[in-house]
Chain A
Amino acid sequence: MEAINYLSPTAQMILFSALKIGVVFGVVMTAVAYAVLVERKVSAWIQDRVGPNRTAPFFVDYLPVIGPFLVKLGIFQPAADGLKFLLKEDFTPSYVRKVYFWLAPAITVIPALLTIAVIPFGSNLGGQKMVIADLNVGILYTFGIVSLGVYGIVLAGYGSNSKYPFLGSIRSSAQMISYEIAMGMSVVPIFLLTESLNLSEIIRYQAEHGWMILKQPLAFVIFLIAAFAETNRLPFDLPESESELVGGYHTEYSSMKFALFFLGEYANMIASAAMMVTLFLGGWTLPFIDALNLPAGSLLLGLVHIGVFLAKMAFFMVVFIWVRWMLPRFRYDQLMDLGWRRFIPLALANIVVTAVVVALFNH
């Protein structure tokens, strides 16, 4: 490990950044795979079924007791699912616009992964800050990248060149733009309070003054619901509502291209869960215990902080999944009405009230 000290600062930065990117990418991909498993298990419990409980690789026979138990939990299911997606026939219909048809799945995944770059998922591990890029305009960067996510779906609909995907993509572009506005406005009061756009600063503020969810509950509710709309999850999954649009924007896709849309959706869920944890639940901090509230001094504490962050994120993932199987789908006009006539005025009022309070008490 001593050899690291002989490298120039730039080389160290590149080395550690590459390491962080690799590890975060691996964790996110694994999380996506197991989020799908959790989704299937939770939906099974809610609908009084068992869920995936058969997939067993050959070595399970050699594991007494614990092997069959893991099989019952479906631990090996994600591997089988992944293989299935890889090995299925990748069919490209003859009438599609080839370039866009191929580009769209990639464009869906990339923004979801890019968002995670600015999220501080821990305090530090031995002098390294646990964030890939500590941008001063972190939150604006996130919103910028999230706003690019809509292109994947729009191009999928346009590239497929058939009726249902097109309708789905038209819906999604209107839906995502509408809810982006509400989402963006809902976080403005946070910056009024923290006086910074840097996500690490926002976490530090919350460690000192208490979590944002207590100070800005309205902003949190608007952000949470807008996050459902931005990730195209039920109750706002109109771009792919199967009862009217077959499969919406991904009707014509098969095999790995379809899997990429799937991956994009779950990576988006992870990104929004991470954003909510960072903005409203204090990131990697836990109140009342000083060791957990201040940047870590030891490797062990650093790991604990990452664990706290992941636990909070897992909570939001379960909320995403739980809501999907509990609520019916909105009608399109209800969705637009909720976004434009309820959330945007509410978010605006929240900004004005917060600004007045800040002006009265802080100066």
Chain B
Amino acid sequence: MPQFTDLLFYALAGLTLLFGFLTVLNPLSRSPVTSAMFLVLTILSMAGLFVLLHAFFLAAVQILVYAGAVMVVFLFVIMLLDLKEDERRHFNQVAVGLGGLSALAIAGTLVAAVVKTVPAAAPAGRLAEGETKALGRLLFESHILPFEILSLLLLVATVGAILITKKDLR
């Protein structure tokens, strides 16, 4: 008799895969806006998976940052550029080859990682001081250097983006 949470997991995982598939290859619509909306749904079902893992903070941030901000900017750009629903996709053979190669490489890495991973023991009960606090401590105490490097990277990207938009500065 499977647990209720197991059923939820399979449902959400299935939805994530389905929506992810419909994002890239939708038989009914080629509109970029539809793709973006399915990506939003993919992100939402992934947030559901995080909730099942009791990672409420991650789930909330996933919705807040990806679904709420990043995807809205995506939509904004798609609508501003007014991309036509591309009628006939002509395939560039080099691009298809390279794309296939990188997809295979990523799949290989993932499979290798899954095979190598030893299943972790279930966490012993609830974290004493709340998961958000624990996450914060981990980020700002043990992983402070990678965190700071990442924020520097983001800063560089932001400055670069502003520089590109300011034509008179170049």
Contacts and interface: CB of A to CB of B under 8 A. Distances in A.
Interface of A: 100, 135-137, 140-141, 143-148, 150-151, 154-155, 157-158, 166, 169-170, 173-174, 176-177, 180, 184, 196-197
A173 B75 contact: yes
B49 to A, nearest CB: 15
Contact of B79 (A135, A137, A170): A170
B57 interface: yes
Contacts, number: 69
A144 B67 contact: yes
B25 interface: no
Interface of B: 33, 37, 40, 56-57, 60-61, 63-64, 67-69, 72-73, 75-76, 79-80, 130-132
Residue among B37, B40, B64, B67 having the largest count of chain A Cβ atoms under 10 Å: B64
A180 B130 contact: no
Given A136-B130, A173-B75, A144 B68 contact: yes
A52 B76 CA distance: 40
B132 A151 contact: no
B68 A154 contact: no
Given A136-B131, A136-B132, A137-B56, A144 B64 contact: yes
B132 A137 contact: yes
Contact of A166 (B56, B61, B79, B131): B79
Given A170-B80, A173-B72, A177-B69, A144 B63 contact: yes
Nearest to B133: A195
B61 A140 contact: yes
Given A157-B79, A170-B76, A184-B64, 16 more contacts: A135-B56, A137-B56, A143-B64, A144-B60, A144-B61, A147-B68, A147-B69, A147-B72, A150-B72, A151-B40, A154-B72, A154-B76, A155-B37, A170-B80, A173-B76, A177-B76
10 contacts: A137-B60, A143-B64, A144-B61, A147-B63, A148-B67, A148-B68, A154-B79, A170-B79, A177-B73, A197-B132
Nearest to B55: A137
A168 B80 CA distance: 12
Contacts of B40: 151
B125 to A, nearest CB: 15
Contacts of B61: 140, 144
Contact of A148 (B57, B63, B73, B75): B63
